[in-house]
Amino acid sequence: MLGYRLDKNIPYGNDYLNRAISKLQTANTNLANYDNLNKELEYQEQLEYNSYLENQAESRYVLDTGIDINKTDSLKGILQHFYSQFGIFLIVVIVMIAGTIVSEEFNKGTIKLLLVKPYTRNKILLSKFVTILIMIAFVIVVTIVMQILIGGILFGFDSLSEPVVAYDFNTNSIQEMNIFMSLGIQTLMQLPMIILLATLAFAISTIFSNSTLAITISLLGYMSSSIINQLAIGYNLQFMKYFVTMNWDLSIYANGALPYMEGMNMTMSILICIIYFLIMMIPTFIIFKKRNIKNI
């Protein structure tokens, strides 16, 4: 640590370079402690070991390059943490659209005007769901563009040229990528969760014709998901690895990282998301097709 201070001329303080030195020292100490155990690590210990490897590599990168990779008051920082900062906004908007797109047709009685058209009920309902998917893409793109414009005006656009840094567990090395490539990967990793929450709101809205119920349950599911996951991990509830909230965020597999529980993998998570999607969609289409519209 003193070598870094001398070579890089880093005075004592509380800036990002000093935080990197402190983080590196902690990582080195903990990695040495694990290496001295001389035993095969249990799964939770391996997760902790990997987190210290990541901290070690990222801290060394910061000290070697002088780049603050965790800086948030820049346009790159905003986009790098886009879904952690604006995820709740996206979910609220999308769930509100999905939770009202069918139920409001019933509440206002306009569903009759749709059903007299020369189209099957399945086509009508499918068109509604396709509209939701288009709106998901639209809301995400518009929000990103607005953040680029507003963030660029406030902080400047220079930071967009800085690379996004991530530790690759497959190669045990730091990888650099363009901020827009990183944002695209983040979006793909978050899409299963967004689509499943929208599908939940859509299904409840169609089956019960209640917008409030659809929006409330979907938002509660989103807000309680982290608590459910923490309880499952903390108590090592192995059966929970098949629950949707443990699988709908594919970012847990980014760069070869270990998932929440042993035995989980990306293929399994994608398959589980598809199964939950079908569990919601199939009854929705069946009930909508058989529903009596005469008294609406």
Q: In this structure, which amino acid lies at residue 211?
A: S
Does residue 293 have a pLDDT over 90?
no
Alpha helices in the chain (DSSP H): 2-8, 16-35, 43-65, 75-80, 82-100, 103-108, 111-115, 121-155, 179-208, 211-234, 266-290
Long-range CB contacts (within 8 A, 24+) of 269-275: 269/192, 270/192, 272/242, 272/244, 272/247, 273/192, 273/196, 273/244, 273/247, 273/248
Residue percentage of the chain with pLDDT more than 70: 99
Contact in structure between 127 and 105 (CB atoms under 8 Å): no
Q: Name the band, by pLDDT with cuts 50, 70 and 90, for residue 3.
A: confident
pLDDT digits (tens, 9 = 90+) for 154-173: 999 999 999 999 999 999 99
Q: What is the pLDDT of residue 107?
A: 87
* Token reading at 241: 């690895």
Least Cα distance to 83 among 135, 147, 129, 168 occurs for 147
Give the predicted TM-score (pTM) of the model: 0.93
Does residue 296 have a pLDDT over 70?
no
Does residue 295 have a pLDDT over 80?
no
pLDDT digits (tens, 9 = 90+) for 263-273: 999 999 999 99
Q: Name the band, by pLDDT with cuts 50, 70 and 90, for residue 217.
A: very high
Give the separation between CA 151 and CA 74, rounded to whole angstroms.
Answer: 7
A 10 A CB-CB count for 129 gives 20
Q: Name the band, by pLDDT with cuts 50, 70 and 90, for residue 294.
A: low
pLDDT digits (tens, 9 = 90+) for 109-122: 888 888 888 889 99
